[in-house]
Amino acid sequence: MEKLAFQSGAWYATGWGIDERTRTPIVRAIIRWDISARMPNLPTPGTVARSLWLTRNVIGHPAAPSVAATSEAEAQEMAIQWARALADAVAKSAAPTVATLISETRVGEMLAEILQRLEQILESQRQMYQEYLELKRRQVQLLERASGARAAD
């Protein structure tokens, strides 16, 4: 999520998904480390989560906590609520408001797109290298012919 926050210019990012180990819907949020370092008075996602959900366990580092949900629909709603609360917290701290909601499923899709593009680039480079080798082979043949013609003279 932090990479997507950097790419989009967001200071905070929230997301939801399923914990692979426990199969529990979870909601996550982060504050970019560079923003947190420059503006230490900004509230952390953990602080905001604790004020939103008094009866829920907020686990993890305060800058990147997680909260369990009962269903994926609830997790999605919680992520939206958290994103809005983070945007409000930024507004109250007299900083420009920037918050982005990023679905964890979209993260996977974006990574797949990046990997596909990398494969295309690598294939293009492989083809260019094969063309380079073919040109070098032709160059060597021409040099051999030229030196053979000189030897015949």
pLDDT digits (tens, 9 = 90+) for 23-49: 888 888 888 888 777 777 788 888 888
> What total of structural domains would you count in the chain?
2
| Residue 23 and residue 50 in one domain | yes
pLDDT (0 to 100) of residue 97: 47
pTM summary value = 0.55
Contacts of 76 (CB under 8 A, 6+ apart): 16
pLDDT at residue 5 tops 70: yes
Domain that holds residue 56: 2-102
pLDDT (0 to 100) of residue 153: 60
pLDDT (0 to 100) of residue 138: 95
Contact 93/41 with Cβ under 8 angstroms? Answer: yes
- Tokens matching residue 50: 């604790």
Alpha-carbon separation of residue 101 from 34, 46, 57 (angstroms): 19, 16, 21
pLDDT (0 to 100) of residue 122: 94
| Residue 11 and residue 85 in one domain | yes
Contacts of 100 (CB under 8 A, 6+ apart): 4, 5, 8, 10, 12, 13, 14, 83
- Rounded Cα distance between 20 and 10, Å, is 27
CATH number at residue 54: 3.10.310
- Please state, for a pLDDT cut of 70, what percent of the chain lies above it: 90
| Residue 8 and residue 47 in one domain | yes
pLDDT at residue 100 tops 70: no
Contacts of 87 (CB under 8 A, 6+ apart): 12, 97, 98, 99
| Residue 35 and residue 90 in one domain | yes
Contacts of 143 (CB under 8 A, 6+ apart): none
| Residue 17 and residue 43 in one domain | yes
pLDDT at residue 152 tops 50: yes
| Residue 21 and residue 73 in one domain | yes
- Please state, for a pLDDT cut of 90, what percent of the chain lies above it: 18
Contact 36/44 with Cβ under 8 angstroms? Answer: yes
Last residue of one domain, picked from the residues 83, 102, 121: 102
| Residue 111 and residue 49 in one domain | no
Helices (H), 44-103: 45-52, 72-92
| Residue 10 and residue 80 in one domain | yes
pLDDT tens for residues 48-80? 888 888 888 888 888 888 888 888 888 888 888
Question: In terms of Cα–Cα distance, which of 43, 67, 65 is closest to 54?
Answer: 67
| Residue 92 and residue 112 in one domain | no
| Residue 108 and residue 35 in one domain | no
Q: Span 6-15, mean pLDDT?
A: 79
